[in-house]
Structure 1
């Protein structure tokens, strides 16, 4: 299958990571991304288990380490700011944690020399034929590709065009998550502070970029809401209404939110599918297997999935159907474990924090410390 021309929708983590491995195996890769450049903002992402192996095999582990948040243990407080428990960093920061935007920049720099990027663009139609897939775009003429990969997140455009409505695959877990940059007004030193606000609300602030700034994450329980995902001002009003009158540092957070330019608001959900491919189209990362933003496994799944998909394509002797099937079989159990774990996190989000002894035991035995959870092939 060498010289196969593959289109990847999505320029976050999974897409550029896949582009890297495809080029390593002699494929031609094009990435289309609706943002005007590598995505800015977002939350911190962590690496555990075999995702560290993937970074090492890509030759970027040392580079990624330079951007480590170096997070220490964080504090959970009540609405008056009184200490409740300490949250060990091993639970939320894994073996290595960086801002997602820093990882995106590293992956883009790694691949831009050999990968065609179509920024500020999006797929509008996919038509499969015997000799490939004809893809139409918001901007530019239609083009034909041998294969198409949807690596475009929980609300994947490729999935909606090829597999059907989002509602058929996205399972809402009853929570919304808002993330945005703030000043480090709590003077946090490589640490975070979280507060259970009651009435299905919580907030978390953690320092970033060597304490020069911070990120805020605000969570609230809700059924699915009808709002324009591109109308940031409307989203800010929605959050302000939900958190009106809440205690702790919420009034300051809402002022920071009003001035922010990088708000990311999303329902916390999972993507569950019976199959991840249809003909010459295959899905990757959150598009087919989102465990939820609260799982702490999304970036690991993206990196590992890209490694496995490219490896199976490289060893399939031209049979993309066999490659897609092998890729899915290799990852199904791993995804199942991650999705089951995410339900536990959602269940704890608004509850009283567990005892310190429980948290310490959890930190001593994180899920991916189990060597049987996933073992990567050497392709």
Structure 2
């Protein structure tokens, strides 16, 4: 017989994967605590999309309309040429647009998930896990605050730089660097801005993007190729100076971003890579989301993997008689999907980071041809059947788990 104490679960991380897992576990009768290192919700971030199976999960959670109401209003993708002209445009409703139906700022989704779970889930802000001791029927946890507690399971959902993962698996998971550094920041909106996702490719392997939000500001990002260890351990001031140096002479709106760097505090700067882990669970502890299988923003599927993984793990824990069988069933469902999502086309990201003016011109010319009405019409004929199929299964089956748990 399962007692409430034996069903205590601790989740590290209050971003997307953690609260989604907390929602479903609480729904299935588990006592769930989410611990978050930050003193409150981290509401910053860039545009993300809730697509494919994540959209189905959002509907099951009753948050689809809240996500839709917080839509960024993005109209589609425009590639900007060297003379500030629109070299190619891919409208939201088109066959190849990067803008999805449920486009939302990351912090808005975090807030929606928190509001949906706070009545049935305990949140501890301003604390973190410092030690884990696995015992036969529980895990003893020590926190940075000095308090200790025991839980039946502990799940790391605290991102690609997860410290909890290190306590569980050491250096076993691999960070596979993709040759790319990126920075994100929020800048003031100007009258010349529009509601398109604008992508500008500069010479010397640099890309700048400006995207609208629903808060009257613009989400800017900068990406460039560099050696993996080139900028490790840079201070915030060093990172800002690096970005200024990187953007020097790049053209378009880059001077605007350089000027904004001195005024903003929410600059996120990091290298881009994928997390590859041979296992996601050991005993009664494990990991989900970016901590376990970050696919990188290049795939556009980070939010999808986070929500799908959370839904499947909670469902298996609720429906299996044995927790080890639950973990195995979860991984059997999830790992093939993760491996498929993490596959990148040959030459990515290097192909879209040309070094010379000629390379940039060729890239924009090809994009313009692909975006033309004749090509889009033909492409639409070939993708309609695929889109219909994906609307049915989205690459992974989401079982309809029963709302009961017999876990021991």
Could you tell me the TM-score, scaled by structure 1's length? 0.92
1:63 aligns with 2:66: yes
Contact kept in structure 2, 1:7 and 1:32, CA below 8 Å? yes
Counterpart of 1:195 (choices 200, 222, 237) is 200
1:78 match: 81
* SS of residue matched to 1:48: coil
2:39 match: 36
> Structure 1 residue 186: deviation in Å?
5.8
1:267 match: 271
1:216 match: 220
2:127 match: 121
Contact kept in structure 1, 2:76 and 2:99, CA below 8 Å? no
- Give the Cα–Cα distance (whole angstroms) in 2 for the partners of residues 71 and 343 of structure 1: 28
Counterpart of 2:157 (choices 151, 160, 167) is 151
Contact kept in structure 1, 2:244 and 2:258, CA below 8 Å? yes
> Structure 1 residue 338: deviation in Å?
1.0
Within 5 A, what are the aligned runs for 1:1-379? 3=4, 4-89=7-92, 91-165=97-171, 168-185=173-190, 187-209=192-214, 212-225=216-229, 226-228=231-233, 231-317=235-321, 319-341=322-344, 345-351=348-354, 352-353=363-364, 354-358=366-370, 360=376, 365=383, 370=390, 371-372=392-393, 373-379=395-401
Give the alignment's Cα RMSD to 1 decimal. Answer: 2.2
- Give the Cα–Cα distance (whole angstroms) in 2 for the partners of residues 250 and 56 of structure 1: 39
> Structure 1 residue 94: deviation in Å?
2.2
Contact kept in structure 1, 2:87 and 2:367, CA below 8 Å? no
Pair 1:305–1:218, CA change in 2 (3 A): same
Pair 1:103–1:363, CA change in 2 (3 A): farther
Contact kept in structure 1, 2:78 and 2:90, CA below 8 Å? yes
The size of the alignment, in residue pairs, is 375
Pair 1:173–1:343, CA change in 2 (3 A): farther
- Give the Cα–Cα distance (whole angstroms) in 1 for the partners of residues 191 and 277 of structure 2: 42
Pair 1:244–1:114, CA change in 2 (3 A): same
Contact kept in structure 1, 2:17 and 2:157, CA below 8 Å? yes
- Give the Cα–Cα distance (whole angstroms) in 2 for the partners of residues 59 and 219 of structure 1: 36
- Give the Cα–Cα distance (whole angstroms) in 2 for the partners of residues 145 and 32 of structure 1: 13
Could you tell me the TM-score, scaled by structure 2's length? 0.86
- Give the Cα–Cα distance (whole angstroms) in 1 for the partners of residues 52 and 283 of structure 2: 32
- Give the Cα–Cα distance (whole angstroms) in 1 for the partners of residues 62 and 3 of structure 2: 23
* SS of residue matched to 2:24: helix
Contact kept in structure 1, 2:77 and 2:98, CA below 8 Å? no
> Structure 1 residue 218: deviation in Å?
0.5
